[in-house]
Amino acid sequence: MTTKMKKPKTEKSGPNPIAEEAIKAARASSALQSFGNSERRGKKDKKQLVRVAGGQTWEDMSLADWPEDDFRIFCGDLGNDVNDELLTRTFNKYPSFQRAKVIRDKRTSKSKGYGFVSFKDPQDFIRAMKEMDGRYVGSRPIKLRKSTWKNRSIDVVRKKEKEKQALLSLFNQS
């Protein structure tokens, strides 16, 4: 008579709860991309998310998913094998990690080769920039830069234009 012995269950020390939520969100986001994001249609917008770049102005509703007061990294040179979940798993070792997103073509759902990672704490942002720049994520080394997403807000652009005009008028009066 043989009896099978069950292995005792051991508690795993996995990623922090915030990272687990980010992974779930990344999976859900990837699934929604192929169907279009109908979830957001029913929500009321708290703030208008109008953007300006390259002489064009548009409304960017994807920014509603991101925290406003975060420290965001632009991740360039991502391979086609990198998805939201892999980017999340790469950066979730930092305690204040919030979210990771690979940008995809809306029509084909293929990666555009870049993404963003968000942190709550500026020290984690700085550490990640130093430690992860040039590291392999998937099949390629990534290039990290500070994201300039705040500079493209229409409010910031208008403020900079006013400051520029004020400086020009002061300069012209001299």
Q: What is the pLDDT of residues 104-156, one digit of tens each?
A: 998 999 999 999 999 999 999 999 999 999 999 999 999 999 988 665 556 66
Which pLDDT value is given to residue 62? Answer: 59
3-state helix, strand, coil in the chain (%, to 5): 40, 25, 35
The residue ranking higher by pLDDT, 40 or 94, is: 94
Which pLDDT value is given to residue 142? Answer: 97
Q: End-to-end distance of the chain based on CA atoms, in angstroms?
A: 102
Q: How far apart are CA 151 and CA 19, in angstroms?
A: 27
The residue ranking higher by pLDDT, 12 or 124, is: 124
Confidence band, pLDDT 50/70/90 cuts, at residue 36: very low
Which pLDDT value is given to residue 18? Answer: 67
Confidence band, pLDDT 50/70/90 cuts, at residue 52: low
pLDDT at 65 over 90: no
What predicted TM-score, i.e. pTM, was given to this entire model?
Answer: 0.58
Work out the percent of the chain whose per-residue pLDDT is above 90: 41
Q: How far apart are CA 84 and CA 21, in angstroms?
A: 12
Contacts of 113 (CB under 8 A, 6+ apart): 76, 77, 78, 79
Q: How far apart are CA 157 and CA 62, in angstroms?
A: 19
Domains in the chain: boundaries: 48-173
| Closest by CA position to 23, among listed 110, 121, 92 | 92
- For 100, the 3-state DSSP assignment is strand
Confidence band, pLDDT 50/70/90 cuts, at residue 39: very low
Confidence band, pLDDT 50/70/90 cuts, at residue 4: low
Confidence band, pLDDT 50/70/90 cuts, at residue 51: low
19: DSSP letter: H
Superfamily (CATH) of domain 48-173: RRM (RNA recognition motif) domain (3.30.70.330)
Q: What is the mean pLDDT of residues 149-164?
A: 66
pLDDT at 80 over 60: yes
Of 13-22, 35-44, 143-152, which range is least confident?
A: 35-44
